[in-house]
A and B are shown apart, each in its own frame.
Chain A
Amino acid sequence: MSTARLEQLSKQYDGHLAVDRINLDIADGEFVVFVGPSGCGKSTTLRMIAGLERATGGEIWIDGKPANHVSPRDRDIAMVFQNYALYPHMTVAQNLSYALRLRNWSRADIDRRVTEVARSLDLAPLLHRKPSQLSGGQRQRVALGRAIIREPKLFLMDEPLSNLDAKLRVQTRAEITRLQRSLGITTIYVTHDQTEAMTMGNKIVVMNGGRIQQADTPQQLYQHPANTFVAQFIGTPPMNLLRCRLEPQDGAIVARGAGVNIPIRLESLTVLRPKIRDGEFLIGFRPEDIVMDPGAAGNGVTGSADVIEGLGHESLVSVKEGENAFIARMSPENAAPIRLGDRLSFSVNPDRLRFFSAESGEAIRVP
């Protein structure tokens, strides 16, 4: 049962800021996922929490106590490494029991606990093998077992699934989630795979360039990205962002740009207007939030079909118009008659429209 707290946490590698003043509160039992592109500082942050890397600025609190100067062995954490880091000369049983042996548990207690963990992870038949005699998935489970065997305060995992094939990854993903929920141990999980992040985490921390872009629930992250980076990083395909300006039309105000002609609600305008100084902004919507609608011309988004990708259960149609481009998600039946170069019109669900500053990329939340 544990909480963790990062305050202005920073890591400087000679002249290069890998982690830049991040703040985060992690509640007891929470499953927090750090996600972001390669080199954004996820591993560095995790290793600072583990104590394997010294913070060059800021504070780490574990269970309300400052942990910056506590050595890794005294932090009572467990970590799963990307390459598993199993002890090659020890059997599976010895790998599992290593931490317990270091803590001078009795033989009987160790045997009981190893049996328990081996049963829960399906490792019982493998206990006497060496890591070199295991498959990748089995090694992964041993690494997991080594972490859960002593019920630590915090679980830390750095891309533990990246060495598994696609099918095993989905399976193990569910396994880890189930394990974490049943044990209730506060977990911090690093990945650069947003599907992993969205499916596993209670809270997702999107990082880029050493900074936290947004820390939120998967739903909030998807529905209300804090900036254009998050909007485009979360979701496949990413959120569509189109450049436009506010213009009057028939006594109302519309967002107009290449291929864009969308009426804006009055209550939204009152928030939007003061925030966009030079008049340009980005309008955003998810590919599933638009519907093909030939009657929508002049009241939605339009353009010519550029690329059509059939995925079997759905089709993705890329549409281009001048400087703007967007992707529409539709059923294969609706996409079937479309040919490259066809002019297409879509109406947009007004509740799902999002607005971003064209300069800073920050979201402008409107009612």
Chain B
Amino acid sequence: MALTQTSARVAGVRTVHYADSQDRWLPAVMVLPFLLAITALVIIPLLWGIRISFTNSRIIGRAFTEAFTLANYQSVLTDPDTWHSLYVTAVFSLGTVIGSIALGLVTALVLTRAFPGRGIVRTLIILPWAVPHVVAALIWQWMYNPNYGVVNYAIGWIPFVTSQPNWLSDPNLALPAIIILNIWKTYPFATLVLLAGLQSIPDELYEASEIDGAGPVRRFLDITLPGLKHVLAIVVLLLTIWSFGNFVFIFLMTQGGPAGATNTLVVKVYFEAFRFFRAGPAFAMGSLLLLVAVLLTLAYAFIVRRGKDA
């Protein structure tokens, strides 16, 4: 009697276990095609590229027959141009992050207040985000045109200002001009995420702090900012990742010029590989960029996960 009971229980356990493992494998099987595609189209080329970065090959196909060398990394890291590009990339990313978040936060704060037409404004504000990068670049190229662009037309209205700057050809103005374009393109995203963050802060916290004696500035510093800390971290990281990897705007507007003023790392990698055909250094720099991107992504994943626990 006891024996049959035990064996029945074992059988029961086994059945449950079987069903359980089947349940566990099903999702894995369903993402398999996706994993295969990623492996074939992303991971293998990446590994291939990393491998090339350690050879003297000029031709991509022969990577695995070449000898191992660190020469590419040496030349990339000792090239002052690389460090200049890193500087340009940092300014571009930092400028975008600061500008986009500042503009996004102000817009989000305005949009939390009730005013006539708020619904329409909320919808219209997404437009720059929805416009494709190429279209945005063309629009702004035209707006920045020194002779018939709307930017210089607007400047003409400012009293006592007579200069008509050549935005994209002036080494001092080209980078700020593209940063402004990138801010314009990304601030709707910042606005939407910060708006959601603002709405998740309970009204009662503002009321409690008001009763405790806090004025508008203290309420912003003590309730709004801490309440947005987590979303802000996410927005900063995503904007950094995107700015860091932005290729289209610079390639279409200035091609890294004038005089390297907008030559960010990704643009430099592109020109190294496809204009000067220096595969080794290009792949070496690309591998370093990949490393930075992976670190940023890990930081992003970490912050998102921590927010979930909190």
Please give me the residue from chain B that is nearest to A103 by CB atom. Answer: B213
Rounded to whole angstroms, the CA-CA distance of A357 and B181 in the bound complex is 76
Chain A: interface residue total (CB-CB under 8 A):
21
CA distance A99 to B211 in the complex (A): 9
- A73 touching B223 by the CB < 8 A rule? no
CB of A132 within 8 A of chain B? yes
Residue of chain B at shortest CB distance from A77: B211
In the bound complex, residues from chain A placing their C-beta under 8 Å from that of B45 are: none
Q: How far is the CA of A99 from the CA of B213 in the complex (A)?
A: 6
Contact present for B211 and A50 (CB under 8 Å): yes
B170 close to A (CB within 8 Å): no
Q: Is the CB of A73 within 8 A of B202?
A: no
A356 to B202, CA, bound (A): 46
Residues of A77-93 contacting chain B, CB below 8 A: 77-79, 81, 83, 85, 87-89
Residues of B within 8 Å of A311, CB to CB, are: none
Known: A87-B223, A102-B218. A73 touches B204 (CB 8 A): no
Tell me how far the C-beta of B233 lies from the nearest C-beta in chain A, rounded to whole angstroms: 13
Residues in A with CB closer than 8 Å to B211 are: 50, 52, 72-73, 75, 77-79
Q: Contact partner of B222 among A77, A83, A87, CB < 8 A? A: A87
Contact of A73 among B214, B222, B226, B227 (CB under 8 A): B214
Cα A31 to Cα B207 in complex, Å, equals: 23
- C-alpha spacing A146/B211, complex, angstroms: 11
A103 to B215, CA, bound (A): 12
Number of interface residues of B (CB under 8 A): 19
What chain A residues lie within 8 Å of B209 (beta carbons)?
A: 87, 98
Q: Which residues of B contact A72 (CB under 8 A)?
A: 207, 210-211
Other-chain contact of A83, B204, B213, B218 (Cβ < 8 Å): B204
> How long is the Cα–Cα vector from A132 to B310 in the complex, in angstroms?
8
Contact residues of B between 80 and 125, Cβ < 8 Å to A: none
- Partner of B208 from A79, A89, A103, A132 at Cβ < 8 Å: A79
- One digit per residue, 1 when the CB lies within 8 angstroms of any chain A CB and 0 when it does not, for chain B 173-211 equals 000000000000000000000000000001011011111
B223, chain A: closest CB distance, angstroms: 7
B229 within 8 A of A: yes
The chain B residue with its CB closest to the CB of A130 is B310
> Measured between alpha carbons, how far is A52 from B211 in the docked complex, in Å?
9
Binary contact track B213-249/A, C-beta < 8 Å → 1, others 0:
1110010001100110100000000000000000000
| A102 adjacent to B214 (CB under 8 Å) | yes
B229 close to A85 (CB less than 8 A): no
- Chain A residues whose C-beta falls within 8 Å of the C-beta of B215 in the assembled complex: 73
Which residues from chain B contact A103 at a C-beta distance below 8 Å?
213
Contacting pair A73 B213 (CB below 8 A): yes
Closest chain A residue to B226 by CB distance? A89
B116 shortest CB reach to chain A, Å: 15
Say yes or no for B212: interface residue by CB 8 A criterion.
Answer: yes
- CB-CB < 8 A to B202: which residues of A? 83, 85
A-B contact pairs, 9 of them (CB 8 A): A73-B210, A73-B211, A79-B211, A87-B208, A87-B223, A98-B212, A102-B212, A146-B208, A146-B212
**B residues apposed to A, CB below 8 Å:** 202, 204-205, 207-215, 218, 222-223, 226-227, 229, 310
